[in-house]
Amino acid sequence: MTPISLFALAAAVASTVTASSNCTRDFLAKAAEQYVQAQTAGSPVLLSQILSPHAAYKENDMPLDVTKGVLSQAIKIDRTHRYYDTAQCGGLVELIAASPNATASGTPYLIHTRFLYGNGTADNITLIESVVTKPGDWAFNATGYLHYDGIESWPAIPVDQRDTRSVIQAAGDAYFDRFDNVSVVIPMASACARLEGGSYTARGNFSANTCDGYPSTILVTDRRYIVDEVYGVVDIFEGFPGLDRSVPKVAVPDSHLFRVENGKIRYIHTVSHCINYNCGLNSTTFGRRAFKSVGV
Ligand SMILES: *[C@@H]1O[C@H](CO)[C@@H](O)[C@H](O)[C@H]1NC(C)=O
Ligand SMILES: *[C@@H]1O[C@H](CO)[C@@H](O)[C@H](O)[C@H]1NC(C)=O
Ligand SMILES: *[C@@H]1O[C@H](CO)[C@@H](O)[C@H](O)[C@H]1NC(C)=O
Ligand SMILES: *[C@@H]1O[C@H](CO)[C@@H](O)[C@H](O)[C@H]1NC(C)=O
Ligand SMILES: *[C@@H]1O[C@H](CO)[C@@H](O)[C@H](O)[C@H]1NC(C)=O
Ligand SMILES: *[C@@H]1O[C@H](CO)[C@@H](O)[C@H](O)[C@H]1NC(C)=O
Ligand SMILES: *[C@@H]1O[C@H](CO)[C@@H](O)[C@H](O)[C@H]1NC(C)=O
Ligand SMILES: *[C@@H]1O[C@H](CO)[C@@H](O)[C@H](O)[C@H]1NC(C)=O
């Protein structure tokens, strides 16, 4: 793993989230806020005080020096979703940056980032990993993502209606298990919408389940979870073979953020990194249900 080499730069950073073995939501929220501020400023140094000196940092499954990645560029962020997993001591941040001047280069971004303190025992973050997407990634349209996300509602779930951690995670797992086993029944709400990089399944009917239509021979590997019972959320980072048609055997870096209500999937947000531009699809073959149309 590439060691993070920003400690030499850390001298001037103001006091920040401090070490604690109390992994509360508040504690994780401060870490998430610090991450968002670092990305907004394009200053990975702002993370130095909450990262373990030996922390792993990855973008799209590649180990990277945190000072050399997307965090070193300022991004004007339009909206975030933030979820906290107190059992694992970690969190998930979804960043939506859609404006024409989102970055100095004009590139918009959609990013899912998970961070872990290390089973609630470490004083500092031991892992930050992101699926970083931009034009050329799966169905990328940050304007669309911002728009459709904005018409959804993901409020905290009333205490007496919350699902257990295992029920929430099982819903997300069933979804991916179905990709290589047609016998798996996904607990799907009567209304379900999936937002994939900016294309939206529910454009025709917001009260229907428009999430159906799955592959049956795709083994989704290397699943990594963040679960937040308060919001009924499980995010799964995984490898998704077949998505990039130009390299179908490669399990591409992917994150699916599931909103689960009463044990059933209500919303899904996905960001998927393409190895090659548009995952090998062109304007003719690229549709919102592309994997159905090419028959996987
Ligand atoms: C846990 O939090 C409580 C209240 O903030 C504090 O008094 C205590 O010292 C903390 N324990 C550790 C091990 O950080
Ligand atoms: C946490 O990070 C700070 C800042 O780099 C460092 O001084 C401290 O030793 C780290 N603590 C642990 C337990 O890694
Ligand atoms: C981006 O553009 C908006 C509207 O055009 C403007 O209000 C804002 O100041 C610009 N932000 C930056 C960082 O240039
Ligand atoms: C957390 O604990 C599990 C099981 O003991 C271990 O496999 C994993 O590496 C640990 N994760 C971290 C970040 O320390
Ligand atoms: C992106 O989404 C916006 C909002 O839904 C839509 O107006 C626009 O046509 C989309 N762009 C592309 C290239 O599909
Ligand atoms: C496929 O899913 C069904 C229903 O959950 C399960 O009984 C069966 O064992 C699964 N098959 C495989 C090969 O995992
Ligand atoms: C939308 O979906 C709901 C639930 O399936 C169905 O009852 C309704 O007729 C649909 N409306 C339209 C306009 O298709
Ligand atoms: C798009 O890709 C398909 C399948 O590879 C190919 O048949 C078609 O000619 C391509 N169209 C364009 C406009 O490149």
Same domain as 257, residue 128: no
pLDDT of residue 120: 52
Q: What is the DSSP letter of 123?
A: S
For residues 95 and 257, give the distance between their C-alpha atoms in angstroms, rounded to a whole number. 12
pLDDT of residue 155: 98
pLDDT of residue 93: 98
Say yes or no: CB of residue 49 within 6 Å of ligand 2: yes
Same domain as 184, residue 259: yes
Question: Domain for residue 112, yes or no?
Answer: yes
pLDDT of residue 284: 59
Instruction: Please name which of 84, 137, 87 lies closest in space to residue 108, comparing C-alpha atoms.
Output: 137
Domain final residue pick, 134, 167, 190: 134
Length of the chain: 296
CA distances to 102, 121, 272 from 106, rounded to whole Å, are: 6, 40, 20
CA distances to 8, 205, 271 from 239, rounded to whole Å, are: 34, 30, 12
Same domain as 289, residue 173: yes
Same domain as 185, residue 101: no
Question: Domain for residue 183, yes or no?
Answer: yes
For residues 63 and 129, give the distance between their C-alpha atoms in angstroms, rounded to a whole number. 9
Same domain as 277, residue 175: yes
Same domain as 183, residue 95: no
Question: Domain for residue 139, yes or no?
Answer: no
Q: Tell me how far the alpha carbon of residue 22 lies from the centroid of ligand 1, in angstroms.
A: 6
The domain tally of the chain equals: 2
Q: Tell me how far the alpha carbon of residue 107 lies from the centroid of ligand 3, in angstroms.
A: 14
Single-letter amino acid, residue 72: S
Instruction: Please name which of 269, 261, 255, 270 lies closest in space to residue 188, comparing C-alpha atoms.
Output: 261
Structural domain boundaries, residue 276: 157-294
Same domain as 130, residue 71: yes
- Give burial (CB, 10 Å; 0-12/13-18/19+) of 171: buried
For residues 124 and 20, give the distance between their C-alpha atoms in angstroms, rounded to a whole number. 8
Helix (H) or strand (E) holding 238, with range, is: strand 233-240
Tell me the pLDDT of the chain (296 aa) as tens digits: 334 444 433 433 333 343 445 799 999 999 999 999 999 999 999 998 889 888 999 999 999 999 999 999 999 999 999 999 999 999 999 999 999 999 999 999 999 999 999 755 568 999 999 999 999 999 999 999 999 999 999 999 999 999 999 999 999 999 999 999 999 999 999 999 999 999 999 987 899 999 998 999 999 999 999 999 999 999 999 999 999 999 999 999 999 999 999 999 999 999 999 999 999 987 655 554 443 333 22
pLDDT of residue 205: 86
Same domain as 165, residue 262: yes
Question: Domain for residue 25, yes or no?
Answer: yes
Say yes or no: CB of residue 285 within 6 Å of ligand 8: yes
Question: Domain for residue 251, yes or no?
Answer: yes
Question: Domain for residue 150, yes or no?
Answer: no
Domain final residue pick, 119, 134, 149: 134
Say yes or no: CB of residue 184 within 6 Å of ligand 6: yes
pLDDT of residue 49: 84
Q: Is the dihedral of CA 148, 151, 156, 162 positive or negative?
A: negative
CATH code of 95's domain: 3.10.450.50
Q: Is the dihedral of CA 137, 281, 258, 207 positive or negative?
A: positive
For residues 113 and 133, give the distance between their C-alpha atoms in angstroms, rounded to a whole number. 11
pLDDT of residue 240: 97
- Phi then psi for 258, rounded to 5 degrees? -105, 135
Residues 259 and 267: beta-carbon distance below 8 Å: yes
pLDDT of residue 48: 87
CB-based burial, 183-213: b 16+ in 10 Å, e otherwise: eeebebbebbbbbbbbbbbbeeeeeebbbee
Domain final residue pick, 134, 166, 182: 134
- Structure pTM? 0.86
Same domain as 120, residue 162: no
With the most atoms of ligand 3 within 8 angstroms of its CB, the residue from 77, 78, 99 to mutate is 99
List the beta bridge partners of residue 83. Answer: 92
Residues 19 and 12: beta-carbon distance below 8 Å: no
For residues 272 and 119, give the distance between their C-alpha atoms in angstroms, rounded to a whole number. 27
Same domain as 169, residue 129: no
For residues 14 and 6, give the distance between their C-alpha atoms in angstroms, rounded to a whole number. 15
Same domain as 287, residue 162: yes
For residues 121 and 175, give the distance between their C-alpha atoms in angstroms, rounded to a whole number. 31
Question: Domain for residue 273, yes or no?
Answer: yes
Same domain as 282, residue 165: yes
With the most atoms of ligand 6 within 8 angstroms of its CB, the residue from 181, 182, 220 to mutate is 181
Question: Domain for residue 207, yes or no?
Answer: yes
